[in-house]
Structure 1
Amino acid sequence: MSAVAVKHVEPEENGAVQSSHPIAVWKSRRNEHRLKVPTLDLLLSSSFPERQHLLFPWLREQESCMIYADTGVGKSLFALSLAIAVAGGGEFLGWKSDQRETGEPWRVLYVDGEMHIGDIQERARALIEAVPGIDKTQAGKNLSFLARQHQDPGTPFPLITDEDGMKFVVRQVAERRLDLVILDNFSTLGEVEDENSAASFNAIQQFLLNLKVQGVATILVHHAGKSGDFRGSSKLAATFETIIKLERMKEEAEHGEAQFRVTWDKVRAGGPKKRVRDVVAKLVSSDEEGEQSRQEWEYEAGSLSRLDDMKERMANGEFVTQKEMSDCYGLSKTMIGKDIEKGIRIGLWTDRQVNQWLTKGKQFRKIGKTFAPIPEGGSWRDEPDEAFQAFEEPPDF
């Protein structure tokens, strides 16, 4: 099935456009619903309901988000855990939903275009145990699944770039009173003629905007391209309030294991930009004797800028010892040791890499390719005067 194209349809005498495409429908109804065009005075004097967070602080009602990563990093594990947490009032990687004043739960639809329903069942059974504070009864009633591989042979499955597929999802939103729709993933749920053409994404962009008008939040799971960015035209990014990239932390991941870093490509201005932090997460299995394996999300949240800087400097051979690192960052050797161990634990580097990088640093220092780093806050102005008294005359540089 090819991508949906918006066809030009000549209006009839009464001005109505005869088409069922969302854009055409909007045009046909413009005489039925007057567009709101408030003045500045009216806008400033109006009050609007405060949008609550489905996941604080980065996903609110009627907002859309894209999550993308390379194949095998853990996109679906991330998205399914998130869905369970929202529907069941639990916590995922430190993020939690707001409590509605009405006490009603958040309702979630998970649309999967790739996995077998039995594999989804297996994952859901394991991940519900990995979400702290979950109300399993609530999650069980308020998270629904629409999976391609669960349908009978010959049953058409909705594509989010197809007119009928868009209408089907919108109906589900209304009938189930959904608050969040998760689309996993774009490559298996939609079709575009040319990923590099901005015009090819017109239909999906209008669909995502239409879902916002319907009052539902949306998460689109997508693949990274060869460049490391998400696949397709940059136009796709325009409609999202938040774009998250999951960066691989471990080259050789075991079956069912996920280890990644959550980074923020975009958080729309005016939103909670200052409150989002990078998160390094790992899904681990704990094998207890006589019991079934239990999965758990381990994560570190907060600023990782110093560890990132340490990694770059060590890999470049700039450090020879931990003492040089402590001088550079103004920390004790004990704190530097803890940072190195933390980097190993969360997957930024291995013990072997640290040894290799410090050995590289010694080789570079020996041939004069690098110099000892300047201590944090250090300056030539802090040198004692005696250091320059040996020169009777200024040296000729």
Structure 2
Amino acid sequence: MKKKRYVDLINSAPEFLARDIPPRTWLLDKTIPHPSLGMLFAYRGNGKTFTALDLAVHVANGERWMAYDVPEARAVLYIDGEMPIADLHERLTALCNAHPPKNLYVLASEDLAVAHESLNLAVEKDRDAMAEAILHMVKNVVRDDFGLIIFDNWSHLIRGIDENDNTKLDPLKQWFIKLRHGEQSVLLVHHEGKARTGQRGASAREDMVDYSIKLTELFEEKPASRFRFEWDKVRGVKPDPMDFEMLLSEVDGQLGLRLADPSGNRNAEIKSKYDDKIRPLLPGTFTDIKEKSGLHDQTVNRILNRIAYRGPNGDWLLND
């Protein structure tokens, strides 16, 4: 096919609007469009992989996930970059509850290592090989486009490249966008920076995504862990809700993620419990309050911003 010139692709507004363009569909109803390119980031140990795997299982099953409907079941490819295969097997077993979706596919990093292969998407030949593998799966196995491809995580699947250099990230950026143009939705899992102000590395990575999600561990509520899920960036209509809390816990002996306290009653109890733990430590510095309370940085910061204010000397003072 002869390649079209740029001028051949320019439409007048009436011509453009007269085209029969299929409406955009949704991965999560009125939340994550399909196709799309997104990022899920969190500080180390804050539930990134569990959240990504749980989302993968629900999208593959076409089941409601947390606060959002999943309009239809779609094929999902989960590409692991670092986890011991026993841990990946254990987590997926727990999340699937003995019923693994047939249209969920897994590429485990340990399988690659045993086969004396490597996957480094910073290298062009590896990107080409991965694109070839995806195309083969689409044509011969799935016989449809992948609804979602998850890369977990950026640091282990993309090595030997300066994360802070926008120019060096450009080939990767174009490769991921090309996947989206090929009707694949992509989710990149990444680490939050040490300053806890956003995903680590160059701004070009965030610029290319349609949405980004931040996970924050709030505190441990034995025997569970509680996380906040919040939309850090969205294009278009804002999701409803924009944030919520999740519990990673065992229910009937089955480890999994669940929406925490839809009624809000338990949230109110926990807020009161932790507020009462902080109040006696005021006035004081953030460091002193954190050390004496034994709570996580994020929890202390959230409570202080709700019940206190920073005084002229930098100490936190209780609201009147």
TM-score (norm 2): 0.77
| 1:263 paired residue number | 230
1:351-385 CA-to-partner distances (Å, cap 9, x unmatched) read 25425416848xx9xxxx98986xxxxxxxxxxxx
Q: Say if 1:342 and 1:37 are closer, same or farther in 2 by CA, change over 3 A.
A: same
Alignment counterpart, residue 107 of structure 1, candidates 71, 75, 94: 75
Alignment of 1:1-397 (within 5 A): 32-35=3-6, 36-99=9-72, 105-129=73-97, 136=99, 139-151=100-112, 153=114, 155-177=116-138, 178-228=146-196, 229-250=198-219, 258-268=225-235, 271-273=236-238, 275-286=240-251, 288=252, 293-300=253-260, 342-345=267-270, 349=271, 351=273, 353-357=275-279, 360=282
Q: Say if 1:222 and 1:356 are closer, same or farther in 2 by CA, change over 3 A.
A: closer
Q: Say if 1:65 and 1:303 are closer, same or farther in 2 by CA, change over 3 A.
A: farther
Q: Say if 1:73 and 1:146 are closer, same or farther in 2 by CA, change over 3 A.
A: same
Secondary structure of the structure 2 residue equivalent to 1:275: coil
Report the residue type matching 1:173 in the other structure.
Answer: I
Relative contact order, higher structure (CA 8 A, sep 6+): 2
1:252-300 CA-to-partner distances (Å, cap 9, x unmatched) read 5879x542101111001xx3315342010011113x5xxxx21243324
For the 8 Å contact 1:73–1:258, the answer to whether it is kept is no
For the 8 Å contact 1:58–1:242, the answer to whether it is kept is no
CA distance in 1, matches of 2:118, 2:221: 32
Q: Which has the larger radius of gyration?
A: 1
1:29-64 CA-to-partner distances (Å, cap 9, x unmatched) read 9x5355532222211222311121112232221201
Secondary structure of the structure 2 residue equivalent to 1:155: coil
1:212-251 CA-to-partner distances (Å, cap 9, x unmatched) read 111100000000111211110111111111111001211x
CA distance in 1, matches of 2:54, 2:34: 19
Q: Percent identity?
A: 27
CA root-mean-square deviation: 3.0
CA distance in 2, matches of 1:278, 1:301: 13
CA distance in 2, matches of 1:80, 1:160: 21
Q: Say if 1:91 and 1:129 are closer, same or farther in 2 by CA, change over 3 A.
A: farther
Aligned-residue offset at 1:89 = 1.4
Number of matched pairs:
279
Unmatched segments (≥5 aa) in structure 2: 139-145, 284-307, 309-315
For the 8 Å contact 2:28–2:71, the answer to whether it is kept is yes
CA distance in 2, matches of 1:47, 1:114: 43
| 1:380 paired residue number | none
Report the residue type matching 1:235 in the other structure.
Answer: A
CA distance in 1, matches of 2:62, 2:119: 29
Between structures 1 and 2, the one with greater strand share:
2
Aligned-residue offset at 1:175 = 2.3
Secondary structure of the structure 2 residue equivalent to 1:140: coil
Q: Could you list the runs of 4 or more consecutive aligned residues of structure 1 that deviate by over 3 angstroms after TM superposition?
A: 31-35, 252-255, 300-304, 358-361, 369-373
TM-score (norm 1): 0.63
1:144-199 CA-to-partner distances (Å, cap 9, x unmatched) read 01111123535322222221222223223322222211000000000253222211
Secondary structure of the structure 2 residue equivalent to 1:246: strand
CA distance in 1, matches of 2:188, 2:57: 16
